[in-house]
């Protein structure tokens, strides 16, 4: 659906000349974390985490390059696609994408990686932090087959920290509320955005959207 | 249709049986021995499972699921996370492994292949047919439904390879009386071995196989061809890199599909015109006018017209 109407503009009521705080100032404002929230961090997946992962069809993967420049990318697949190999190792398939491979380039540069896993309808998210590498192990790849497509590569994450993150952020954002999907009607389509950033005519955007809806039929 | 998992029973270290019912226990669509259901989990993983219960129990379907060493998700989910009370989605039973009329029957099952064979045996016993059944398992504790097999009496035997060595299929097939129809189900090695022995079958005997994995065969390289879905009025160019099923679905032709490996039969479509290169594991006659478009294609230089 084509979005018609004015595009965005910034709120220019504020200057961006803000004061950057040190940790001491931040602690001064927030106080110290309470005991129980620290204890929730563990170093492995227990039965509850395994059940969470088995039902999670979406995660974000955060990586950084050698200099620490960060990148965060969405990963979605059949529930359970973040596959627990054992209680300290997960693997996820690298599916069809744009082949830019930002995450994998970062992982080769700097193994630190983090996953934030979501279960639709659930407010809490599962955070998994650790050290990652990319593999082409044929047995692992075969076990990640989906819709009769075996991925070419997989990312393996050795777990260092596991943490069930509280649900306030998702609750405040209301992201599982069906009504919230109306928000998308107020945002330009990817074709419109692409055409606009490339300086092309709006009609080109429609062509791109049409092509994308065709391309999206092949997900694997 | 949504069904509720009423009971999960561990049959062997690697196999669980699962009883499914309507939420209100109302009757389910009827089925015959050999039928299977397409079962979809809440994770959207979908697999086919043979029904192995009693067709007279109209309130329940029973299936059995083996824990695969290399699970692609479905069998692992069932073993690790499915619970009594969970909901699953099931398409009504279909039968691609139906018992035909025959003067005598030899039923052969290996491993989890016991599922369709067991309901066949029970049916043949009930109608007082001339039948025999051999169930093969590697280990004694790997025999699923051992009590139910024993209850069928002397016509049913269990062969445990660990105790008695590999079952001599040559001798089994060589000893078949003329007119006996063979029904067999099991892993690829078992079914392939039987298929290789089928020329030894006596006059008037037929062999009916159900596979979990495609028959291993070599095909020439894929060629592009065009196909028309006559009812939908759509013509597609099928490139060498895509299946006919994908191409039709991509063009908006409503098509079923499940295993996508030419094993389950759910994508079957009648062919109105054109010669088919049958690459599935179901077709017996090369000139069959039913195509399984998930794997089968047009013969070289041919164009297909389908009733789709």
Residue A14 domain-assigned?
A: no
**A198 in the same domain as A129:** no
* Dist CA B129 CA B108 (whole Å): 16
Distance of alpha carbon B15 from the chain centroid = 17
> Testing the interface with A: which of B40, B41, B42, B43 to mutate, by most A Cβ within 10 A?
B43
Flag if A214 and B250 touch (Cβ within 8 Å): yes
CA atoms within a 13 Å half-sphere pointing along the CA-CB vector of A20: 0
pLDDT above 70 (res B234): yes
For residue A177, tell me if it sits in a domain.
Answer: no
Residues A131 and A199 in one domain: no
| A64 and A163 inside one domain | yes
* β partners of residue A111: none
Q: Judged by CB atoms within 8 Å, which residues 111-170 of A form the interface with B? A: 139, 142-148
| B81–A54 C-beta distance less than 8 A | yes
Looking at the domain assignment, is residue A23 inside a domain?
no
Residue A163 lies in a domain: yes
Both A151 and A192 in a single domain?
no
pLDDT in tens, A145-203: 887 778 999 999 999 999 999 899 999 999 999 999 999 988 888 888 888 888 888 88
Residues A157 and A93 in one domain: yes
Nearest to A54 among B44, B80, B250 (CB): B80
For residue A104, tell me if it sits in a domain: yes
**Which of B44, B67, B72, B260 to mutate: most A Cβ within 10 Å?**
B72
The pLDDT assigned to A39 comes to 62
Q: Give pLDDT, residue B220.
A: 85
Looking at residue B111, its pLDDT comes to 93
Same domain, A113 and A208: no
**Range from A27-36, B234-243, B299-308 carrying the lowest mean pLDDT:** A27-36
Interface touch B70/A142, C-beta < 8 Å: yes
A132 within a domain of the structure (yes/no):
yes
Nearest-Cα distance to chain A for B58, in Å, is 32
- Who contacts A81 (Cβ-Cβ below 8 Å, separation ≥6)? A56, A57, A75, A92, A93, A144, A146
Residue A59 lies inside a defined structural domain of this protein: yes
CATH classification of the domain holding A167 = 2.30.110.10
Residue ranges making up the domain that contains A125: 40-171
Q: What is the structure's pLDDT at A1? A: 56
Do A157 and A129 have their domain in common? yes
The domains of chain B, with CATH numbers, are 2-94 (2.40.30.10), 104-210 (3.40.50.80), 225-306 (3.10.20.30)
Give how far B266 is from chain A: nearest CA, Å. 15
pLDDT band, very low/low/confident/very high, at B73 (cuts 50, 70, 90): confident
Cβ-contact B137, B109 below 8 angstroms: no
Q: How many domains does chain A have?
A: 2
Taking CA–CA distances from B78, the nearest residue in chain A reads A54
Please, are residues B206 and B181 in contact by the beta-carbon 8 Å criterion?
Answer: yes
Residue A208 lies in a domain: yes
Whole-number pLDDT of residue A38:
58
Give the predicted TM-score (pTM) of the model: 0.81
Are A104 and A203 within one domain? Answer: no
Contact A134, A110 (CB under 8 A): no
User: Do residues A165 and A195 share a domain?
Assistant: no
Among A16-25, B18-27, B109-118, B299-308, which stretch is predicted with the lowest mean pLDDT?
A: A16-25
Lowest-confidence pick of B7-11, B111-115, B161-165, B211-215: B211-215
Give dist(CA B210, CA B259) in Å, integer: 14
Residues 55-84 (A) with a CB less than 8 A from some CB of B: 55, 57, 78-80
Residues A166 and A201 occupy one common structural domain:
no
Question: What is the average pLDDT score of chain A?
Answer: 89
**B272 vs A150: CA distance, rounded Å:** 34
Q: How far is A201 from chain B (nearest CA, A)?
A: 28
Q: Is the pLDDT of residue A7 over 80?
A: no
Shared domain check, A143 and A206? no
Q: Is A161 helix (H, G, I), strand (E, B) or coil?
A: strand
The pLDDT, as a whole number, for residue B176 is 92
Same domain, A96 and A205: no
In this structure, chain A runs to a length of 220
Place of tokens 């790849």: A141
How far apart (Å, rounded) are the C-alpha atoms in residues A128 and A118? 12
SS3 B103: coil
ipTM (interface pTM):
0.80
Question: Which pLDDT score is estimated for B287?
Answer: 87
> Rounded mean pLDDT of chain B?
92
Give the residues across from A165 on adjacent strands.
A125
- Residue B117: what pLDDT? 96
């Amino acid at each position: 659906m084509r979005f018609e109407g004015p595009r965005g503009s910034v709120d220019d009521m504020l200057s961006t000349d803000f004061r950057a705080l040190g940790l001491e100032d931040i602690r001064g404002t927030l106080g110290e974390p309470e005991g129980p929230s620290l204890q929730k961090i563990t170093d492995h997946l227990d039965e509850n985490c395994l059940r969470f992962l088995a039902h999670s069809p979406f995660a974000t993967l955060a990586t950084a390059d050698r200099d620490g420049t960060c990148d965060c990318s969405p990963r979605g697949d059949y529930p359970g696609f973040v596959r627990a190999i054992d209680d300290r190792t997960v693997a996820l398939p690298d599916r069809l994408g744009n082949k830019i491979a930002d995450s994998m380039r970062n992982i080769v540069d700097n193994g630190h990686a983090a996953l934030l896993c979501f279960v639709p309808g659930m407010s809490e998210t599962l955070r998994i932090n650790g050290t990652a590498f990319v593999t082409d192990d044929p047995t692992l790849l075969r076990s990640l087959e989906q819709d009769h497509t075996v991925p070419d590569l997989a990312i393996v994450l050795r777990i260092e920290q596991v943490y069930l993150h509280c649900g306030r952020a998702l609750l405040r954002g209301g992201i599982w509320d069906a009504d919230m999907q109306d928000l998308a009607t107020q945002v330009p389509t990817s074709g419109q955005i692409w055409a606009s950033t490339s300086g092309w005519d709006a009609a080109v955007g429609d062509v791109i959207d049409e092509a994308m809806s065709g391309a999206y039929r092949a997900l694997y | 249709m949504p069904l509720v998992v009423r009971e999960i029973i561990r049959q062997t270290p690697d196999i669980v049986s699962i009883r499914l019912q309507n939420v209100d226990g109302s009757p389910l669509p009827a089925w015959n021995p050999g039928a299977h259901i397409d079962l979809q989990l809440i994770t959207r993983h979908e697999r086919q499972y043979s029904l192995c219960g009693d067709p007279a129990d109209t309130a329940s379907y029973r299936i059995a699921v083996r824990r695969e060493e290399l699970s692609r998700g479905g069998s692992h989910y069932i073993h690790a996370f499915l619970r009594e009370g969970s909901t699953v989605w099931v398409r009504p039973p279909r039968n691609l492994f139906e018992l035909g009329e025959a003067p005598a029957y030899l039923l052969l099952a290996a491993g989890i292949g016991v599922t369709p064979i067991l309901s066949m045996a029970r049916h043949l016993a009930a109608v007082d047919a001339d039948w025999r059944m051999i169930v093969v398992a590697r280990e004694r504790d790997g025999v699923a439904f051992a009590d139910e097999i024993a209850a069928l009496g002397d016509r049913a035997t269990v062969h445990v390879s660990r105790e008695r060595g590999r079952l001599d299929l040559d001798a089994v097939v060589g000893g078949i009386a003329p007119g006996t129809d063979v029904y067999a189900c099991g892993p690829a090695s078992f079914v392939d071995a039987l298929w290789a022995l089928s020329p030894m079958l006596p006059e008037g005997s037929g062999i009916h196989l159900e596979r979990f994995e495609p028959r291993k065969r070599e095909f020439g390289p894929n060629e592009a061809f065009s196909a028309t879905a006559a009812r939908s009025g759509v013509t597609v160019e099928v490139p060498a890199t895509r299946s006919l099923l994908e191409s039709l679905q991509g063009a908006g032709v409503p098509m079923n599909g499940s295993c996508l490996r030419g094993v389950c039969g759910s994508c079957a479509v009648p062919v109105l015109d054109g010669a088919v290169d049958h690459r599935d594991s179901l077709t017996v006659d090369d000139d069959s006018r039913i195509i399984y478009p998930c794997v089968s294609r047009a013969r070289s230089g041919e164009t297909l017209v389908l009733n789709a």
